[in-house]
Structure 1
Amino acid sequence: MDAQTALDDAYFDYCPWDFVGRASAGQRAAQDAHQRRLAESGAHLGPRCYVSPAAGVFTDTLRLGTDSYIAGHAYVTGEVTAGDDCTVNPYATVRGRITLGDGVRIGAHSSLLGFNHGFAPDRPVHRQPLIAKGITVGDDVWIGSHVVVLDGVTIGDHCVVGAGAVVTKDLAPWTVAAGNPARPLRDRRAQGGPRRDRAVSGDLPGGLSDDLSGDRPGDPSGDLGDAVARFADRARAQAADLLARCWNPDAGRYADRPGAPATVRAHCDAVEIADLLLGSPPEQLAADEHAARLRALQDPGSGLVPEFAPDGGPGVLPAPAADGWIDDGTAEYHVLAVGYALDLLGSRLTQPVHVVRRMTAGQLIARLESLPWRTRTWSAGAWVDCWATGAHRNLELGVEDGEPGALEALFGWLTTRVDPWTGMWGTAGSPAAGRLQLVNGYYRLTRGSYAQFGFDVPYAERVVDTVLAHGRDQRWFAAGRENACNVLDVAHPLWLAGRRSGHRAAEVRAWAEEQLTRALGRWRDGAGFGFGPAGEGGGGPGREPGLQGTEMWLAIVWLLADLVGVADRLGYRPRGVHRPEPARSPGFAPPG
């Protein structure tokens, strides 16, 4: 290799954007070989990507979309997922659980640190446990040079972060921020004018950004954005009292509402509500005590979390089925609720979910084939949600399945069983039965699988068609008939499918506006939201305000507000069971 060629190789370490247009055939061949070595370690790189051999890339998961690159001397570790047109410039550090949207620019010498050390006084720092909430960066974001982004931060779409900033808290979409700690300077859409923020409780950076599109005459999102902001202020001011209302100091446990029995879910709902509205754990216990109590509930043999016994003592699970699974719907939901509550507390499950770990690919396929897809699609989807979430938790703990390939088998089965006419699993029902089971089952299934693992749902446009048709069914969506389950199970699929498709966007927005307006009016001061009328088969806690209704409707309000375009006025973004971002990337591509 002559001096000129060596110079050219080093040039691409620092100017990787020129590689596609200026690299020689030999340099392309060397890059292809380098990418094959990365792929052997589980990386997935899109077309026209470039990863400098001079970069330190030691990831558990690496996914780069089309036209993305990692420049020389960058340091990249952990679970890193990036969309299209993303750039990690020279000497940048990207570590931990990091999710980047499309068009993200990370300047030289910047650090995205998606993990943290504990620093309790009982042990040296080097022996402290690591905590990893992760960092999420939206689409079209420019992070300048020498920026530091700390664990747990979400940077919204279209943000610009000035050089040298230290980002410690979430930034709303369109924010231009700078400083240490980073503070909003203005809205990027304001063409250089000042931000017109309104101070709110919760200590979001600079307060909530206005939805400037709502300033246009005749645009209903302006009034709706104001209503959303007023609701969020009101909910924050009442959150502490709402949680105290459901705490039984004698038993040391939470109930869904006063007079109801204590439940595991109530404790998890309390943690989620406090995280959303207060940015801290419920004040009834310290964070480590909340986490310790939830971890202690896990059954060491199965890895599931049973409900409390009627006398308030430890719960007992039923005997396992022939394939080792334990059929207990409440314990299955606790895989979601307890796992995500522990995430918010900076902790995790103590044990793997053993019933998932022990299930072979063959047993999994047999179980999937036996689920009631034609008669009770919601139950079938809920089972997939639990199993996939258990697999996510086991991967989080670094536990391998008893037989490799079970997770791949799940996505393979789903890919070959989806109905291309509806975009869903199960049958479309009949005019008499409607689409309730079909759509509600779709939400649970995709929440735990495609959404949780960061995959695009198949047949997104057909999904929108099916869900909108269901959303017009007055049996479930006439004013006063909605419950949290049914509205969530429409809002989330519309949001999920809409991430990649603008199909029937005006109809989606109109439906979301109507439901959002109704939802904001359901809040009851000092008590929160009621779940709503009992669902099909009597499910749900009913109309009385409680923790479950409040937790679910807070997430629904965010989804609806985001479909309308005013979610930034809320000042919160779900991070638990109903989080919009993927919880992880599994390190494999789904079949199809």
Structure 2
Amino acid sequence: MNSVKNPFDRHHFDYAPWEFRAHATDDERSHQRQLQQAFVGAFPGSEIGADCFISELAAVQTETLELGDRSTIAAYANLSGRLRIGCDCSINISTAVRGEITMGDGVRIGSHVSILAFNHGFEPGIEVFRQPLTEKGIQIGSDVWIGSHAVILDGVTIGDGAVIGAAAVVTKNVPAGAIVAGVPARVKGWRGGHHRERLQEFSARLHGDLDAILDRSWTGDHYLDVPGAPRTVRAHCDAVELAAMWGGVPGQLGAVEHIERLRSLQDPVTGLIAPLEAPDAALELRNSDVNYHVLCAGYALDVLGSSFAYPIAEVASMDAKAIVGFLEGRPWRENAWTAGHDVDALGTALLWNERLGAASAPGTREAGFGWLGTTADPRTGLWGGTDDDLLLPVNGFYRASRGTFAQFGVPLPYPERVIDTVLSHTEDPRYFAPGVQNACNVLDVAHPLWLARRQTSHRSEEITGIARRLLDDALAAYVPGEGFGFARDDEPGLQGTEMWASIIWFLADLLGLSDALGYEPRGVHRPEPARK
């Protein structure tokens, strides 16, 4: 720009740095490169990408600065700490960016914004200036717009595509795609509308691919989870449940033959099914290799319009004292997932036995619910350990509540505390960063949030935010013609496809969009109670 023509625009690029690339003279570009080279030479570990502009009127007092290509820093901006700023970012006039801060690409920051990744202590009895600082850091995703005069406080993560309204004070994490405003900032809407079209496209693709997915795992005689895997009972059941989502039956066998094969697996004395790869396994409910068959084979037969031929004898013989003893004997503190796994099988065995007219003694089921209701931790809503790693307690809660409260249509004892605990767990990057998610870990937060929200509107905005993020990650993992792997890097198979299709339904339902899918989980992951 020719600032000579306007005597009141002598520092044009300092106030409009986004115009530097298009309008700067060769001398201005050379001068800017010299300044940037001098800065990088003086501060080891710093990097400035191509076509960047940093105003000489800015105060850049960083320990390290990594600035991506085409990013700009305007006049009177105040930068300090350890900053990593992506490509195509703009920091406008009089904005403070201080502390341990990471930004993605395409972040646009208005004027007079404060992004402060530290805080003062303010315990009583000591002047604030004498107290130590605390530092947690701030993470800002890509394609984020932060309006003028907004304040972002320490410890906050802002998801991709979020919009922060002018003068908002952001004290909590902002979900991807959220539009927030106010003091403190709250979700006011969502950018880009709903996921409805993406869900419709996904459902149409999965439905269209279903025959190929089932054929891929069919040997000509039986189903495998993935080609070349060992033969399992679950693979057959997953095939049945996948086809049942659209009201069908896997076409590799007729419905009658599916039923006959599954019923023939049951031991007539115990009512249990041994693993195909370990036919001599102990047939008892405590055997985790055996008890999942109570769920998967029982529900596969159920969606085929049939049932087990024999009751689960171990459960049929239980009375109230025995069921309480079974529950108390589970390893809740040592391994809450194993405990929940066992309870899921117990509850499902009670269901199948009742349908066969072989119910346990009167009061047995009620005693089980009484024990679960009175032993749930009122602080967390869960059963079992509550150390820093919530993985096993949350996953165990899913299994225990699925086979009992969800399956029988009984309200949870502490739905608000369940939501608090599960939302806290979803912030753990070891399990919920996009590249490390697996079907169990995501299902085991999606279903509890879905189940608890049927009883309460507690923290609905945050539930919606995590549902949107996890849904985006799930939809991105689909492999056309093959389905889903259990984890992102796993080969697609029947288990992964059935589980992720169910997960997507629960997440979509949390957003009020499950009708866009045109299917509903059947069998183990059915949303409605199997018995009311």
Match of 1:584 in 2: 531
Query: Does residue 1:503 correspond to 2:458, yes or no?
Result: yes
Pair 1:468 & 2:423 matched: yes
Look up the match of 2:233.
264
Structure 2 CA distance, aligned partners of 1:266 and 1:438? 27
CA distance in 1, matches of 2:359, 2:396: 28
Correspondence for 2:157: none
Q: Which amino acid aligns with 2:218?
A: W
Aligned partner of 1:574 in structure 2 is 521
8 Å CA contact 1:509–1:564 kept in 2: the answer is yes
Contact 1:317 1:326 in 2 (8 A): no
Which residues of structure 1 form unaligned runs of 5+?
1-216, 320-324, 534-541, 586-592
1:490 pairs with 425, 441, 445, which one? 445
Matched, 1:331 2:290: yes
Deviation of residue 517 (structure 1)? Answer: 0.7
Alignment match, 2:349: 390
Q: How does 1:14-53 map to 2 (within 5 A)?
A: none
- State the partner residue of 1:555: 502
Is the aligned partner of 1:424 residue 2:424? no
Map residues 358-437 of structure 1 onto 2, 5 A cutoff. Answer: 358-401=317-360, 403-430=361-388, 434-437=389-392
- Match in the other structure for 2:482: 527
Residue-by-residue CA offset, 1:419-456 (whole Å, 9 max, x unaligned) = 111011112113xxx11111000000000000000011
Give the aligned partner of residue 266 of structure 2.
298
Q: Hey, what's the Cα distance between the residues in 2 that align with 1:341 and 1:230? A: 27
Letter in 2 for 1:414: L
The question of 1:279 aligning with 2:226 is answered: no
SS of equivalent residue, structure 2 residue 521 = coil
**Residues 482-505 of structure 1: per-residue CA shift (max 9 Å, x gap):** 100000000000000000101000
- Could you tell me how far 1:330 is from its partner in structure 2? 2.0
Provide closer, same or farther for how the CA distance between residues 373 and 218 of structure 1 changes in structure 2, counting only shifts above 3 A.
closer
Deviation string 1:156-200 (CA, Å, 9 cap, x unpaired) is xxxxxxxxxxxxxxxxxxxxxxxxxxxxxxxxxxxxxxxxxxxxx
Q: Assess if the C-alpha contact under 8 Å between 2:285 and 2:342 holds in 1.
A: no
Identity of aligned residues (%): 50
Structure 2 distance, partners of 1:305, 1:221, is 49
Amino acid at match of 1:420: P
**Pairwise CA distance, 1:406:** 1.7
Superposed counterparts of 1:331-350, under 5 Å: 331-350=290-309
Cα distance per residue 1:531-586 (max 9 Å; x no partner): 016xxxxxxxx71111000010000000000111211110011121011110002x
TM-score by length of structure 1 reads 0.57
Alignment of 1:147-162 (within 5 A): none
Distance 1:326 1:579 in 2: 23
SS at match of 2:485: coil
Between the aligned partners of 2:242 and 2:289, the Cα distance in structure 1 is 20
Shift in alpha-carbon separation, 1:248–1:395, aligned structure 2, 3 A: same
1:478 maps to 2:433: yes
- Alpha-carbon distance, 1:404 to partner: 2.8
The letter for the 2-side match of 1:428 is T
1:218, 1:360 → 2: CA distance?
A: 52
Letter paired with 1:561: A
Q: Residues of 1 paired with 2:470 and 2:433: CA distance?
A: 10
Segments of 4+ in structure 1 off by > 3 A?
Answer: 217-223
SS at match of 1:309: coil
- 220, 245, 250: which one aligns with 2:216: 245
SS across alignment from 1:284: coil
Q: Which one of 273, 276, 300 corresponds to residue 308 of structure 1?
A: 276
Structure with larger Rg:
2
1:165-176 pair list within 5 angstroms: none
User: How many residues in Structure 1 have an aligned counterpart in Structure 2?
Assistant: 345
The answer as to 2:205 corresponding to 1:234 is yes
**Structure 1 CA distance for aligned equivalents of residues 324 and 194 of structure 2:** 50
Aligned to 2:196: 225
Distance 1:362 1:225, change over 3 A: same
Q: Does 2:411 correspond to 1:456?
A: yes
1:193 is matched with which residue?
A: none
**C-alpha displacement at 1:355, in angstroms?**
1.4
C-alpha distance in 2, partners of 1:261/1:367?
A: 32
TM-score normalised to the size of structure 2? 0.63
Aligned match of 1:129: none
Residues 318 and 327, structure 1, Cα contact 8 Å, conserved in 2 = no
Are the equivalent residues in 1 in contact too, given 2:294–2:345 (CA < 8 A)?
A: yes
Task: Identify the match of residue 318 of structure 1 among 282, 300, 306.
Answer: 282
**5+ long unaligned stretches in structure 2:** 1-187
Match of 1:515 among 470, 494, 500: 470
Classify the secondary structure of the residue corresponding to 1:254: coil
For each residue in 1:240-264, what CA deviation from the matched residue of structure 2 results, as whole angstroms up to 9, or x when unmatched?
A: 0100100111xx1100010111110
SS at match of 1:228: helix
Q: Which amino acid aligns with 1:290?
A: H
Aligned: 1:446 with 2:401: yes
For 1:464 and 1:327, how far apart are their aligned partners in 2? 29
Mapped partners of 2:514, 2:395: distance in 1 = 24
Q: Deviations over 1:78-108 (max 9, x none)?
A: xxxxxxxxxxxxxxxxxxxxxxxxxxxxxxx
Taking the aligned partners of 1:453 and 1:561, their CA distance within structure 2 comes to 23
Instruction: Determine helix, strand or coil for the equivalent of 1:577.
Output: helix
- What is the CA distance between 1:510 and its match in structure 2? 0.5
**Residue 134 (structure 2) aligns with:** none
* Contact preservation (8 Å) 2:234, 2:293: yes
Alpha-carbon separation, structure 1, partners of 2:291 and 2:387:
26
- The offset of 1:343, in angstroms, is 1.1
The one-letter code matched in structure 2 to 1:362 is K
Cα distance in 2 between the residues matched to 1:530 and 1:565: 26
Measure how far apart 1:219 and its partner are.
4.1
Is contact 1:464–1:497 with CA below 8 Å preserved after alignment? yes
The separation in 1 between residues aligned to 2:319 and 2:194, in whole angstroms, is: 54
Please list the CA deviations of residues 361-397 of structure 1 after superposition, one character each: whole Å capped at 9, or x if unmatched: 2222222212111110000011111001000001111
User: Alpha-carbon deviations, 1:342-368, whole Å to 9, x = none?
Assistant: 111111111011111112322222222
Root-mean-square deviation over aligned CA pairs: 1.6
2:135 aligns with none
Kept in 2: contact 1:352–1:397 (CA 8 A): yes
In the superposition, relative to structure 1, how do residues 245 and 417 fare at CA in structure 2: closer, same or farther (>3 Å)?
A: same
Aligned to 1:139: none
Is the contact made by 1:385 and 1:449 (CA closer than 8 Å) also made in structure 2? Answer: yes
Q: Secondary structure at the match of 2:434?
A: coil
